[in-house]
Chains A and B, each alone.
Chain A
Amino acid sequence: MGAIIVSGLVSGSIYALIASGLSLVWGALGVFNFSHGVLLMAGAFVAWWISDPSGLGFGLLTGVIGSVLFMAVAGAVVYRILVRPWLGNSNAELTVIMTTIAGAMFAENLALYIFGGRLKVLDQAITGTVTLLGTTIQAQNLLVIILSPILLGSLAIFLKRSKYGLAIRAIAQNREVAQMMGIRIEAMYVTTFAVSAILAGIAGVMFAGLFSLGPSMGTDPLLRAFLVVVLGGLGSLPGTILAAYLIGLIEALSSYYIGIYWTPVALFSVLIFILLIRPTGLMGREV
């Protein structure tokens, strides 16, 4: 049972990082970014390429720092190329779904072209095991479980206390009032995408440290993240985080008790059931 909970918390932690970025973008811009999964993949590959001896070989720490910097730029680029040109159009929501899917396909195949299809392994930040409350946990898993809430806490502080965080929330709540306050809407949109991409990149690095890297490694986590965002309530950060851990735990339990093939069925059943009771998700608002 201990192992199941650990596995659930690990997935939950990673889903929370991915989904909060997705939710942030939805809240501020009202669009869904379908290239969020390849951002995760890009973050992992950049970290791998910088750190691995068959790449630049600078070690894991440099790799992670490099990946975070790269992701900030990548987020801004995704915004400028795939989102900005269509914002403000009457059907921006649908158009952006298509442009970001197209961008995702392009990036996935680019990664396949550059790095090849063979799965790669990222160095673990720490190795060995830790025994906690009678359960033996891989140190890497424990790191993910601890690091993720710290990052999410920093995100919450950023949104609650910092000038730009407050501005991002303001735009999400009332764009015109934000504009009249002198908030630079464009700059804040770029910031939102950069923050969201950094979160995806870190999730990618964590994911790669636990499993492996491949060009399509972002597809499954993205699907889970969508589930999480809808379950938690669109645009609600606490709801998203709660839903992420919930989905992680349900996934772990159901893969153990009813098998991995039926897990998606279990997850979507839970989603449908909760949406029947609460159509706006766990902590979503009426629109």
Chain B
Amino acid sequence: MRLSVENLSAGYGRIRVLHGISINVDQGSSVGLFGPNGHGKTTLLRSISGIIPVEQGVINFAGQDMRCKSSHQIVDAGLIHVPQGSTLLPRMTVIETLTLGAFPNHAWVQRNNKLQEVFDIFPRLAERRHQNCNTLSGGERQMAAIGVGLMGCPKLLMLDEPTLGLAPRIRQELAEQIGRVAQTGVTLVIVDQDVDLLLKLCPRLYLIEQGTVSLEIKDRDELSHQDVINRYFGNAA
């Protein structure tokens, strides 16, 4: 179940955000993406999941060309995107929202088992199951968003800034839970500003700058934290 993106260009209208970006994700080996804001990390995920059109390049997942597929076909193939700071479905309950996450037919038949799995990983969602999504806290909302992704039986789950704006304690809790998701055999692509978090969860990292990969860290052990910081913020930091 390999995802490879080659020389991908995409953007919004006439504004091009991605300039020939290439990344590779091997099965079972999670990948972290980091880099400054506004340099195309989210756009990359959005073009992989078919939300915005691709101008140029190749997206291959599990041997299939994903570039011309519509977003529901991409989800059906097991490539699921958990969007950034999602408001989810504000006036639907947690359990309704999670259930809908199992919309693809192959996921729908096992939705009850999946729901149990999600509640095992995120016990707080079980407590909140009958609340509307707009009454959830930021951390719970993020848990629900990841839970929705898991309900669709993903082979590869792309998380866009899962810890954005969360208090350190919740961030810690969520990081552990994301680790548990990885242990269930789901390959992760995680975008985050928190390089420490990424180093913990992902053996391989990409630094994305100006719509392209400016550094690939193939083995996290090669690089100490300080190197990343230097590279990321310049030596002054």
Asked whether, in the complex, the Cβ of B89 is within 8 Å of the Cβ of A180, the reply is no
The answer to whether A170 and B80 touch across the interface, beta carbons within 8 angstroms, is: no
Q: Mark B150-186, 1 if CB is under 8 A from A, else 0.
A: 0010000000000000000000000000000000000
CB of B92 within 8 Å of the partner chain: yes
Q: Which residues of B contact A177 (CB under 8 A)?
A: 83, 86-89, 148
Query: Of all chain A residues, which has the CB nearest B76?
Result: A182
Binary flags per residue of A171-212, CB closer than 8 Å to B gives 1, else 0: 001101111111111000000000000000000000000000
Residue from B83, B87, B92, B99 in contact with A180 in the complex, judged by beta carbons closer than 8 Å: B83
A180 near B49 with CB under 8 A, answer yes
Q: Which of A44-52, A83-91, A161-169, A267-275 contacts B (4 or more CB under 8 A)?
A: A161-169
With A166-B92, A170-B92, A174-B90 already in contact, the answer to whether A183 and B80 are too (CB < 8 A) is: no
How far does the alpha carbon of A256 sit from the alpha carbon of B18 in the complex, in Å?
68
Give the contacts of B96-110 with A (CB-CB under 8 A).
96-97, 99-101, 103-104, 108
A127 to B231, CA, bound (A): 85
How big is the B interface, by class?
A: 20 to 34
Which of A167, A169, A174, A183 lies at the interface centre, i.e. has the most chain B CB atoms within 10 A of its CB? A174
For B89, the closest partner residue in chain A by CB is: A173
Q: Does B81 lie at the interface of the complex (its beta carbon under 8 Å from any beta carbon of A)?
A: yes
A-B contact pairs, 23 of them (CB 8 A): A163-B100, A166-B92, A166-B96, A169-B91, A170-B89, A170-B92, A177-B88, A177-B89, A178-B100, A179-B51, A179-B71, A179-B72, A180-B51, A180-B71, A180-B75, A180-B80, A180-B81, A181-B103, A182-B71, A182-B72, A182-B76, A183-B100, A185-B72
Those 7 A-B pairs whose CB atoms lie nearest each other, nearest first: A182-B75, A173-B89, A182-B104, A182-B72, A179-B71, A182-B103, A184-B72
Known: A163-B100, A179-B51. 7 other contacts (CB 8 A): A166-B92, A167-B100, A173-B92, A174-B88, A176-B83, A180-B81, A182-B76
